[in-house]
Amino acid sequence: MSSSEVPCPACKWTPDRQRRCAYESSVRLFHGAHNRGYWFLGSKFLSKERGKHPPSHEVTNTHFIKENTTIPVPTTVQE
């Protein structure tokens, strides 16, 4: 398989397909580590993607911090 046929691991598009298309996404993978990915969705939102195991307690912990402290926390749109 030539380098022009190897797809991007994040979006699955090949370099050849990217060159032939004028579309430019506002969704950007900006960090990945192990089984996690962090995506910018335009300029206002961030999506955190991770595997199911081990489970994440981030949303529960964030809600607890918001309700019981004055520490500013980001808003969770959907789990």
In tens, the pLDDT along 37-79 reads: 888 888 888 888 887 777 788 888 999 999 999 999 988 776 5
CA dist 16 → 2, 10, 13, 20, 24 (Å)? 11, 16, 8, 6, 14
pTM above 0.85, yes or no: no
